[in-house]
Structure 1
């Protein structure tokens, strides 16, 4: 560039641009969010119910996860103004919740007949909770992070509270060998926990702006931050039978998942892999309905995912055989008994609706539907 002066001194110099190459303006790099699918949420509120029906509505909504009870001093006629919004991160659920005081329990019987064995990580915004696992009680309060294994029975109570929780499949941490075995029913604090809480608060503030294209990086970030918040604090600080049992279950789940198609996936093989007796193994899986029932359930979940995969051209009989079922008839009976619909219905429904998994994430989906498809 150079200045070109005219003969009239009172005039300002004129700017003359001289360039070797023409100017090219680049637009900022950003996606057009209006053209991308946004996250799916599942809102729930008791506000539209009559006061005496509010707590029964909440109890029914939460039944797949916990049994809910009113405090001893409360009555259903008093009302129960609760609200919850669940966000589907496609591999994890983020749960925003506000409730009055109530008691909760996930009994051994519910654990036994449920496929929900995920991790639940909770941050309280207000209120306080007390939760017991095998007689070990932990107290959660704002500023702390609570971790609980939904594959283990527990019970507890909460005063009026507002919270945000993450519900995550155990396999999310498989690359790290799983969360430490002693992570169940503990409360953590510190700078790393605060950093994770700040990141979740950032996600909450932007949930209605995130799209499905953002979810891979969000899940990876959550995975890394959670593991590196938990592992340094837990490792070496909790020992004993409780830690050993959960650590064995983590190894057992990983071995089963990696060998679903093997005919050699037996109780004997699992005992050898874990280096424990069959008696100890059976005790380990007692709350899951036994070793064979757990393996069968995981094979059926894998079969359902394969059947609902539009890119999978295998016949139903081949999918069944690859997952260790002796015959297509036995597989079909077991599948229909487990899910309430047949393998062929999955194929037909998937082909018609172009969905990835059943049940669909629609306005008629329930909290239980979302929990059951998590991690498949």
Structure 2
């Protein structure tokens, strides 16, 4: 008896991700997509100008330099695509080999203390924090604070970086602080990397209503994986409590509109001496410097809010500035454009112009996104 081969099944296209149906509004029209990427690349520049362009672009985070014996004239083709989800930035990058350093001087000039989570697809990196070097291999997850100095080097790499504001982890400060410059590998790294890849696949589909949930899910997954890792650093009882610096940050941010917030008031609130207070804020350029930076960030948020039509002088007064002129000068030094330009959504050179109402994806520069992240 002849056995016939089974019929060949019809060809079916296999998709890595299920096709997503666009959400529809009450009127039956598709809900507008929330995100528009900010793209930067050196590929179209002459090779001799490529590294200096990237050096200027990356200066808001770290100082960069080429490996020894590598000339800038040979070229530095880098790409950087950023997506702003409001409470989190997703950045897709390709970077040739280079060295990087976020020094104490950089911390004082740029009060960005976000957490960065790096999923390295290719290449390797070696990063030193406090004398301890963390080596990151392909398919690993790196967790690092921008609120502490670090330095390192990387090989030619493709990777994705998530930037999340420190305030997002207010109830888990001890866990992350104990694991700064931590490299998560093996199974738990796979959980996070698969999640990041799934986010990337949907960046063009997210609606405004999706974004808070995505940020919260990312935060919860990160804490769960770090807490569950057998390799993580032990968290002491002291670290599990809110440290004086964290309490100071919270108090300052909740009292920005108070004209009576002074170092003496902070000392009384925290129950510490002036000497201790100054030591806490020394890496940030001093407590007065930190307070003013936070007030400027709050001013930026108010000016970027289409629903807040207060006069600039009123906003300045509400944030403790003695005059609108003082506020405008300090604002321009910090952001590179005036309060009036911020309100009118007019960006400086090399930044994205926008029209209409603002969304988390519609601001002016990567540096601006970092500074206002989570505000």
Instruction: Please give the TM-score of this superposition, normalised by the length of structure 2.
Output: 0.80
Does the residue aligned with 2:119 lie in a helix, a strand or coil? strand
Does the residue aligned with 1:300 lie in a helix, a strand or coil? helix
Other-structure match for 1:76: 72
Other-structure match for 2:41: 45
In structure 2, which of residues 27, 51, 58 is the aligned counterpart of residue 55 of structure 1?
A: 51
Deviates further, 109-118 or 177-186:
177-186
Q: Given the superposition, is the C-alpha separation of residues 163 and 332 from structure 1 closer, same or farther in structure 2, using an over 3 Å criterion?
A: closer
Whole-Å separation in 1 of the counterparts to 2:234 and 2:159? 27
Contact 2:109-2:285 within 8 A present in 1 as well: yes
Whole-Å separation in 2 of the counterparts to 1:227 and 1:192? 11
Runs of 4+, deviation exceeding 6 Å = 243-246
Does the residue aligned with 1:251 lie in a helix, a strand or coil? helix
Deviation at 1:59, TM superposition (A): 1.6
Other-structure match for 1:271: 267
Map residues 153-192 of structure 1 onto 2, 5 A cutoff: 153-174=149-170, 176=172, 180-189=176-185, 191-192=187-188
Contact 2:316-2:324 within 8 A present in 1 as well: yes
Map residues 256-267 of structure 1 onto 2, 5 A cutoff: 256-267=252-263
Structure 2 gap segments, 5+ residues each:
1-19, 347-353
Q: Given the superposition, is the C-alpha separation of residues 82 and 300 from structure 1 closer, same or farther in structure 2, using an over 3 Å criterion?
A: closer
Matched, 1:374 2:373: yes
Deviation at 1:67, TM superposition (A): 1.1
Whole-Å separation in 2 of the counterparts to 1:79 and 1:245? 48
Whole-Å separation in 1 of the counterparts to 2:125 and 2:21? 45
In structure 1, which of residues 120, 139, 161 is the aligned counterpart of residue 135 of structure 2?
A: 139
RMSD over aligned CA atoms reads 3.3
Does the residue aligned with 2:144 lie in a helix, a strand or coil? strand
Does the residue aligned with 1:148 lie in a helix, a strand or coil? strand
Q: Given the superposition, is the C-alpha separation of residues 154 and 347 from structure 1 closer, same or farther in structure 2, using an over 3 Å criterion?
A: same
Other-structure match for 1:298: 294
Deviation at 1:56, TM superposition (A): 2.0
Other-structure match for 1:237: 234
Other-structure match for 1:289: 285
Contact 2:122-2:139 within 8 A present in 1 as well: no
Other-structure match for 1:31: 23
Structure 1 gap segments, 5+ residues each:
1-27
Q: Given the superposition, is the C-alpha separation of residues 340 and 359 from structure 1 closer, same or farther in structure 2, using an over 3 Å criterion?
A: farther
Contact 1:111-1:288 within 8 A present in 2 as well: yes
Does the residue aligned with 1:57 lie in a helix, a strand or coil? helix
Task: Give deviations 1:151-194, integer Å, cap 9, x for gaps.
Answer: 22211001122111101111222355686332322222354443
Contact 1:96-1:165 within 8 A present in 2 as well: yes
Other-structure match for 2:3: none
Whole-Å separation in 2 of the counterparts to 1:316 and 1:331? 9
Deviation at 1:111, TM superposition (A): 1.3
Q: Given the superposition, is the C-alpha separation of residues 71 and 30 from structure 1 closer, same or farther in structure 2, using an over 3 Å criterion?
A: closer
In structure 1, which of residues 99, 116, 121 is the aligned counterpart of residue 117 of structure 2?
A: 121
Whole-Å separation in 1 of the counterparts to 2:360 and 2:329? 18
Q: Which has the larger radius of gyration?
A: 1
Contact 1:121-1:145 within 8 A present in 2 as well: yes
Does the residue aligned with 2:134 lie in a helix, a strand or coil? strand
